[in-house]
Amino acid sequence: MPQRNATEVSLQTKIKMLYSDSGIYCLYYCEDKKITATLQADFLNLYNEDVVEAFFWTSETVPLYFEYELSPLNFELPILVPNFNGDFFGWKPWKYEGNRKTRHAVVISRNAETIIAWTAEFFIPYALLKPLLQVPPQQGTKWRANFYRIDYDKEVSEWSWQLTRASFHDYERFGTIVFE
């Protein structure tokens, strides 16, 4: 993913996304020299520290999308976001258990004592994405999506698959993914 702002930090970020009959898989590789993460629980404001994020807007007919965040300490923030003309706020999932719960893992890679990268992987089950439209996707289904990384080493550095304007919540600028 391209870095979106010019900072002293120039790090590589890669993402892969796959899907199955039961959900979406995302894998992020985040080159890093310092992990800036202190939050030690799920559902906190993880975006204020190092984090990766994925956004899935499954139908352009409704300004409602799913956002998933994962920290290098393996804490998560899964929320539905209604976004009406830039006025947005996330809602936590209800009955977040069983086949509705995500699965996730993080590995911090080191060379001796030096941090070189962190890898984040997560699975978002389609059961969690209900009541969004076009879920599960069928062959030919198009969703709008975007993928991000935020890093707080010396200053805030940002990466995104698609360039947004003032906010990562600029869903009208999300890219399009097509299920084959």
Domains of the chain: 13-178 (2.60.40.1190)
Q: What is the pLDDT of residues 143-175, one digit of tens each?
A: 999 999 999 988 899 999 999 887 888 999 999
pLDDT above 80: residue 42: yes
Q: How many CB atoms lie within 10 A of CB 131?
A: 8
Residue count (the chain): 180
Q: In the predicted model, is pLDDT for residue 44 greater than 90?
A: yes
Cis peptide before 131 (omega within 30 of 0): yes
For the CA atoms of 122, 125, 129, 133, what is the dihedral angle to 10 degrees? 120
- The reported pLDDT for the residue numbered 54 is 98
What average pLDDT does this structure show over 36-42? 97
Residues 43, 173: Cα–Cα separation, whole Å: 26
Residue 48 near residue 42 (C-beta atoms within 8 A): no
If you write DSSP's letter for every residue of 117-145 in order, what string do you get?
A: EEEEEEEEEHHHHTTSSS-S--TT-EEEE
pLDDT digits (tens, 9 = 90+) for 16-25: 999 999 999 9
Question: Which has the closest alpha carbon to 54: 85, 84, 18, 5?
Answer: 18
User: In this model, does residue 8 exceed pLDDT 90?
Assistant: no
Which pLDDT does position 165 carry in this prediction?
Answer: 81
For the beta carbon of residue 80, count every other beta carbon within 10 angstroms: 17
Tell me the C-alpha distance between 124 and 7, whole Å.
32
